[in-house]
Amino acid sequence: MSDRPTSPIKIIRARIRANRVADAAWRTGVFFAGFFLIGVGLVLLVLPGPGWLMIFIGLFTLATEFTWASRFLAPLRLKLEKAKLTGKKPVWIYLLFLGVTIIGVLSSWWVWVNFER
């Protein structure tokens, strides 16, 4: 077996890594794209939208190029791999969604009661 990449995306990435300037530009672009997604996710935590999803997408984007982001996501990846092997969702996922649902219902009720039309 050879060490040459076979998929088109890996071939393009190998060519970019071979050039120092292109590699630096690529890593800079990934850096700004990842933190942009994290920033959008933080904004969407207070506005309607998928805030946590955007934050995790930003972290996964950063993890493609930076080892510190990959190490940050390592515990999450281990938990997801364990859940995939056992074939069931971990209990903490159910508890998380239950907590979010309770908070959402209670906050909606509070707004409904306290702000008259």
Rounded to two decimals, the pTM is 0.59
Average pLDDT, the chain: 85
Q: Are residues 40 and 73 in the same domain?
A: yes
How deeply is 58 buried, as exposed, middle or buried, from its count of CB atoms within 10 A (0-12, 13-18, 19+)?
Answer: buried
- For residues 65 and 33, what is the distance between their CA atoms, to the nearest angstrom? 12
Owning domain of residue 113: 87-117
Q: How far is CA 106 from the centre of its chain?
A: 28
Q: What is the pLDDT of residues 103-117, one digit of tens each?
A: 999 998 888 888 876
9: which DSSP letter?
Answer: H
Q: Are residues 73 and 94 in the same domain?
A: no
Q: Are residues 92 and 79 in the same domain?
A: no
Of 16, 42, 47, 43, the C-alpha closest to 29 is 16
